[in-house]
Amino acid sequence: MAKTTAKTSTQMTRMNGKRVRIVTRVTATGTSVKVTDAAPKEWELQAAQVRALRAMPEYGKQFLLAGDQNSAKRGPRAQMEATAAGMTPGEADLRIYLAGGQLRMIENKVGKGRLSPAQVGRHAALARLGHAIEVVRADACAGAAVRAVELVRGWLNQ
């Protein structure tokens, strides 16, 4: 019996203005193509959270937020400037400033995305100082926004 081998390729592109994932599988018996919605990018999860949190009636009265994009791609000069100015690899995506001098943080991951080594180290260092970071895993922007609102409501009610 002959061994059959299959070759699979994946690419991301835009169709009708929407990001999609195209998986092509070629076997001895034919070719199949499957097109599905692409997972959101991490910054898109964060942007949805920021919109939802700023829409809360408590925003500006009981809490404020600040976002980071320390993982943004930069050239060598921009990277040097960012590092010199205090940009720190592994910093959480969102900082939530609560009344009473409390700080909470949210880190976003798409699906089963893993924390980078810099994030693992930074989160551990912050935890040693008493600052926990909540990791929000989501496959859609709406789910990330709902989870962020739930977290902040919980922190406000503590």
pLDDT tens digits for range 54-80: 999 999 999 999 998 776 677 888 888
Domains by residue range for the chain, with CATH: 7-37 (no CATH), 42-156 (3.40.1350.10)
Specify the pTM: 0.78
Is the pLDDT at 1 greater than 80? The verdict is no
Determine the longest span between alpha carbons in the chain, in angstroms: 72
Retrieve residue 73's tokens: 């791609």
Compute φ and ψ for 141, nearest 5 degrees: -60, -40
What is the model's pLDDT at position 10?
86
Residue 119: Cβ-neighbour burial (10 angstroms; 0-12, 13-18, 19+)? buried
Helix %, strand %, coil % of the chain (to 5): 30, 35, 35
Which of the residue ranges 31-35, 58-62, 82-86, 110-114 would you say has the lowest mean pLDDT? 82-86
Contacts of 115 (CB under 8 A, 6+ apart): 107, 109, 123, 135
Other Cβ atoms within 10 Å of 152 Cβ, number: 24
